[in-house]
């Protein structure tokens, strides 16, 4: 996959703050370079793989895509993968607690991120149990990421159920990109520290890399107030992992690859106000992945891939039982402060632990080929078996499992030098909802060289998770007596369905040294799944609409300065009976700006600005006020005795404190230093 790998979207980064940093650097002058030509900009669109599964330049993709490349990752200063999604227009990102992240795209944002398909090198990390993405357990370092491709919109035609609002495809570095040894260290405020060691090498036709990492985080201020109640936050986490990747060349056309990863976490989580929430948590994850690939040419290849993943979570805990005199029923005693008069202690305790085990086995076949000079196709299928176990959330010690099967095809027809037609569909049989078909039709029309219009209509489904369909959250005493039921199993659920209509534009302006990617969208969501009643259970609800637009801009006014700007405006129109907070779950305006300025003698200054409007996080989230976050990074690279070194200082949230997801989650200013060496 050669060509045009100068990844996109926006180039990088924040103007005024960056220029101010440059002025403060005594004696440093900006790098002088040759003027860029128009050819540099016409050839600057990246090649993406994540939309149709065909290799395509950005202006030929059938849907809007944002590419976060390695340079943007470094300039941002982010060390946690979910934070990087702040660089994508329309995304809302927040750390919740218990080492979990909440992510939304154009609203519907809750603690589980149930409407995204997230892939790492083609391996799904979407949780079948709750729909969440287990970012904290992911055995992957940001230093090993080559790029992240984010499809902004439904993409079930290529990836099936759960590619409902977006596909986030994380692509790691090939071992050929990581020769030698690399070590990186970070240390700073708010309990932030990290250490990673990577070694890559080759022997004959074998290439390999191995990474070990240890990371520590303390997310928020430890002391907060929930209304008038003092709260103690327990969000200190320690996570360790090792991963490896090997590529072996069998012949000129054939190759095999293998990957593995193991992570363990020792986490403190939750807060003092809820007595039934375990504070100590042990998490672990493992995966193995194998792939055979035959590539005869760029238009003739096929592959078989299989992987197995396992996620285990254990949080033992016991809590006291009180009698609720208002409801006339036993309940978990309030914690962290004296119990109100309505509660009477019973002297009993209950098991309030949180045990979870999830497994997935997946095998997939894919074939890419050119059918005729103006026709290309990709087709394939996969079978996946998933299982979950959790006594707390399903009220059984038995394993719940299911098998899904998929078959897909995507076609590309160059009907005219300026007209590209694309169509695709996914046929999927899910263990809960039966058979669904997810089609897509797109037209890309080139107005002039460097200016393309895109029209897209697609349909996607999201199947219910195990917890939505079969969740049974009930409390029992340690002796086995029933206390109360919070969630009950649901009646048979229909899958959520989205009909998405999109009009997009990709433009290159060489004279201005500028790239522009914009889209307008109008989505209608049917059979929305949400909880209701008491005890709560999930059900399907009426239709609602989401509409708005995304804009991303990359600008390089001089060779030393690169800027990337993202803006989104979105609205939800829904009847309050569906969910009283649904319309407010989308910030009407989000904005981000990332800038990188190359200075002399190896110095680089970068800055980021992240703005989000007021919004209401769904599930157990709170209203969060609008905030603007300012980050800055100053780094220097140099060589010493054959070693490549980099030292950096990163400051996050230089402005006022703000809250994430809950009122008690206070994100304050913090600074950390990093150092890396490669040899």
Q: What is the mean pLDDT of residues 12-37?
A: 39
Q: Where are the alpha helices (DSSP H) in 294-409?
A: 391-394
Least confident residue range of 2-11, 470-479, 586-595 = 2-11
Phi first, then psi: give them for residue 469, nearest 5 degrees: -85, -40
Residue with tokens 């809950």: 662
The pLDDT of residue 339:
55
Beta bridge partners of 211: 198, 243
3-class SS letters over 42-111? HCCCCEECCCCCCCEEHHHCCCCEEEEEHHHHHHHCCCCHHHHHHHCCCEEEEECCCCCEEEEECCCCCC
Q: Under CATH, what is the fold of the domain 34-179+233-317+352-678?
A: Maltoporin; Chain A (2.40.170)
Peptide bond just before 535 cis, omega within 30 deg? yes
Q: Is the predicted pLDDT of residue 429 greater than 60, yes or no? A: yes
Least confident residue range of 177-191, 243-257, 318-332, 592-606 = 318-332
The pLDDT of residue 227:
67
Is the CB of residue 82 less than 8 Å from the CB of residue 135? yes
What's the Cα-to-Cα distance from 417 to each of 60, 121, 447, 448, 449, rounded to whole Å? 12, 33, 11, 11, 11
- Residue-wise DSSP of 244-297: EEEEEE-SSSEEEEEEEEEEEEEEE-SBTT-TTS-SEEEEEEEEEEEEEEEEEE
538-564 residue pLDDT tens = 999 999 999 999 999 999 999 999 999
Q: Which two tokens stand for residue 243?
A: 């991963």
The pLDDT of residue 281:
81
Please choose, from the candidates 161, 44, 63, the residue with its C-alpha nearest in 3D space to the C-alpha of residue 460. Answer: 161
Q: Is the predicted pLDDT of residue 8 greater than 70, yes or no? A: no
Say which residue, 460 or 4, is predicted with more confidence.
460
The CA distance from 233 to 623, in Å, is 19
340 pLDDT band, cuts 50/70/90, is low
Q: Is the predicted pLDDT of residue 137 greater than 90, yes or no? A: no
Q: What is the mean pLDDT of residues 520-534?
A: 93
The pLDDT of residue 34:
42
Q: What is the mean pLDDT of residues 52-77?
A: 95
603 pLDDT band, cuts 50/70/90, is very high
212-238 residue pLDDT tens = 999 998 888 777 777 677 777 777 889
Share the mean pLDDT of the chain.
89
Q: What is the mean pLDDT of residues 434-453?
A: 97
614-659 residue pLDDT tens = 999 998 889 999 999 999 999 999 999 989 999 999 999 999 999 9
Q: Is the predicted pLDDT of residue 609 greater than 50, yes or no? A: yes
24 pLDDT band, cuts 50/70/90, is very low
The pLDDT of residue 328:
79
23 pLDDT band, cuts 50/70/90, is very low
Least confident residue range of 269-283, 386-400, 636-650 = 269-283
The pLDDT of residue 7:
36
* DSSP 8-state assignment for residue 165: S
Q: Which two tokens stand for residue 191?
A: 């309990």
Q: Is the predicted pLDDT of residue 20 greater than 50, yes or no? A: no
Q: Is the predicted pLDDT of residue 101 greater than 80, yes or no? A: yes
276 pLDDT band, cuts 50/70/90, is low
The pLDDT of residue 421:
98
């Amino acid at each position: 996959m050669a060509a045009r790998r100068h990844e996109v979207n926006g180039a990088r980064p924040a103007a005024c703050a960056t220029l101010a940093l440059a002025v403060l650097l005594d004696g440093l002058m900006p790098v002088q370079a040759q003027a860029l030509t128009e050819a540099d900009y016409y050839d600057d669109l990246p090649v993406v793989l994540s939309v149709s599964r065909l290799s395509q330049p950005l202006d030929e993709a059938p849907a809007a895509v944002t590419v976060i490349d390695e340079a943007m990752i470094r300039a941002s200063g982010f060390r946690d993968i979910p934070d990087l999604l702040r660089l994508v227009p329309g995304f809302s990102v927040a750390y919740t607690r218990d080492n979990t992240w909440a992510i939304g795209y154009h609203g519907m944002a809750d603690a589980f991120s149930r409407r995204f398909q997230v892939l790492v090198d083609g391996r799904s990390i979407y949780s079948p149990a709750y729909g969440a993405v287990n970012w904290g357990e992911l055995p992957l370092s940001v230093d090993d990421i080559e790029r992240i491709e984010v499809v902004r919109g439904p993409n079930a035609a290529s990836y099936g159920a759960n590619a409902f609002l977006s596909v986030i495809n994380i692509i790691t570095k090939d071992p050929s990109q990581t020769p030698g040894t690399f070590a990186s260290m970070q240390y700073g405020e708010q309990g932030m520290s990290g250490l990673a060691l990577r070694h890559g090498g080759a022997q004959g036709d074998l290439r390999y890399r191995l990474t070990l990492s240890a990371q520590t985080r303390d997310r928020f201020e430890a002391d907060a107030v929930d209304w008038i109640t003092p709260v103690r936050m327990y969000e200190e986490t320690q996570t360790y992992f090792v991963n490896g990747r090997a590529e072996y060349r069998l012949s000129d056309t054939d190759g095999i690859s293998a990957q593995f990863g193991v992570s363990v976490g020792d986490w403190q989580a939750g807060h003092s106000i809820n007595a039934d929430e375990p504070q100590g948590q042990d998490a672990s994850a493992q995966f193995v992945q194998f792939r055979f690939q035959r590539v005869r040419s760029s238009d003739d290849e096929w592959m078989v891939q299989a992987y197995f993943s396992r996620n285990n979570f254990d949080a033992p805990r016991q809590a006291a039982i009180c009698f609720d005199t208002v409801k006339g029923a036993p309940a978990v005693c309030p914690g962290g402060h004296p119990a109100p008069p309505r509660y009477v202690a019973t002297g009993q305790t209950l098991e309030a632990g949180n045990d979870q085990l999830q497994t997935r086995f997946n095998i997939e076949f894919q074939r890419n080929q050119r059918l005729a000079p103006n026709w290309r196709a990709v087709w394939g299928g996969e079978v996946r078996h998933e299982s979950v176990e959790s006594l707390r959330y399903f009220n059984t010690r038995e394993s719940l499992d299911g098998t899904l099967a998929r078959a897909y095809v995507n076609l590309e027809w160059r009907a005219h030098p300026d007209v590209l037609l694309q169509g695709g569909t996914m046929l999927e049989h899910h263990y809960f909802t039966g058979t669904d078909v997810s089609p897509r039709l797109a037209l890309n029309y080139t107005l002039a060289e460097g200016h393309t219009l895109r029209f897209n209509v697609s349909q996607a489904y999201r199947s219910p998770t195990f917890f939505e369909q079969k969740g049974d959250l009930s409390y029992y005493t340690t002796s086995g007596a029933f206390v109360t039921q919070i969630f009950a199993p649901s009646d048979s659920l229909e899958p959520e369905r989205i009909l998405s209509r999109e009009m997009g534009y990709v433009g290159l302006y060489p004279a201005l040294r500028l790239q522009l990617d914009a889209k307008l969208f109008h989505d209608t969501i049917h059979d929305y799944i949400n909880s209701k009643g008491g005890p709560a259970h999930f059900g399907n609800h009426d239709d609602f609409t989401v509409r708005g637009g995304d804009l991303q801009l990359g600008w390089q006014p001089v060779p030393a300065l690169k800027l990337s700007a993202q803006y989104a405006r979105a609205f939800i129109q829904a009847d309050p009976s569906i969910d009283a907070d649904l319309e407010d779950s989308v910030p009407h305006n989000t904005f981000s700006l990332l800038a990188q300025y190359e200075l002399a003698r190896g110095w680089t200054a970068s800055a980021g600005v992240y703005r989000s409007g007021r919004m209401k996080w769904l599930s157990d989230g709170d209203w969060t006020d609008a905030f603007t976050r300012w980050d800055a990074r100053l780094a220097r690279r140099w060589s010493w005795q054959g070693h490549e070194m980099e030292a950096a200082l990163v400051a996050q949230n230089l402005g006022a404190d703000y809250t994430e997801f809950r009122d008690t989650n206070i994100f304050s200013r913090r600074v950390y230093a990093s150092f890396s060496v490669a040899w």
